[in-house]
Amino acid sequence: MKKIVILISGRGSNMQAIVQAAQREQWAAEIAAVISNKPDAAGLQFAQSQGIPTVVVESKTFASRESFDLALQQEIDKIGADLVVLAGFMRILTPAFVQHYENRIINIHPSLLPSFVGLHTHQQALDAGVKLHGATVHFVTAELDHGPIIDQACIRVSNDDTADSLAQRLLEKEHIIYPRAVRLFVEDKLEVQGDRVLIHTDTSQF
């Protein structure tokens, strides 16, 4: 039984999709805790309603990035996580923290990486005039919004799209690819080979 810890900063809809998929599909995994860096993150309520332990490590009470990450790491390691899932966790993590969880920390980013790292990805996509926009699930490395890609999904950008409409449509896709990627990890079907991830399952139905 693998232990999963999910980190959130806000709404937590991706966390919710993962929790629900784990229950529905009876994964051999336990969502051992949901940790937020903000005490008022809405997602904490959903986790509590599911009987999932929640922890708050409030980032703004720490003097440095290093001290916050260390406190976070201690909480995660106390739980004994096999996998750390960043789900709308809006913090840049220190290289030491990322290194500690090498190949067992994953993130979802709302763009087709390597395009549009950082914030305001939907506006970045509109400004660039791309016709396909998307989301990426990837292993986390020290460089922001980089790391071996596990899965991606895309949507078509239409003439009247706004950053909000793109975000809304993309979220539906995120809720499909993120639980699926976590499940592949749980089932040991992901193999990191340098910058690439090999998926050891039939992906033709994805």
Site string for ligand GAR, 124-153 (x = CB under 6 A): -----------x------------------
Q: Which stretch binds ligand GAR (CB under 6 A): 18-26, 47-55, 106-114, 183-191?
A: 106-114
110 sits near ligand GAR (criterion: CB under 6 A) = yes
37 labelled as ligand-binding? Answer: no
Catalytic pick from 100, 109, 120, 175?
109
Sign of CA dihedral 49, 181, 130, 110: positive
91 labelled as ligand-binding? Answer: yes
Span 185-204, contacts to ligand GAR by CB under 6 A = none
37 sits near ligand GAR (criterion: CB under 6 A) = no
1 labelled as ligand-binding? Answer: no
As to burial, measured by CB atoms within 10 angstroms (0-12 exposed, 13-18 middle, 19+ buried), residue 33 is: buried
What is the Cα–Cα distance from 175 to 203, expressed in whole angstroms? 17
Beta bridge partners of 7: 35, 86
SS3 content of the chain, % helix, strand, coil (to 5): 35, 25, 40
What is the Cα–Cα distance from 25 to 52, expressed in whole angstroms? 17
Please confirm, yes or no, whether 146 is among the known catalytic residues: no
Binding site for ligand GAR (CB under 6 A): 8, 10-14, 87-88, 108-110, 135, 171, 174
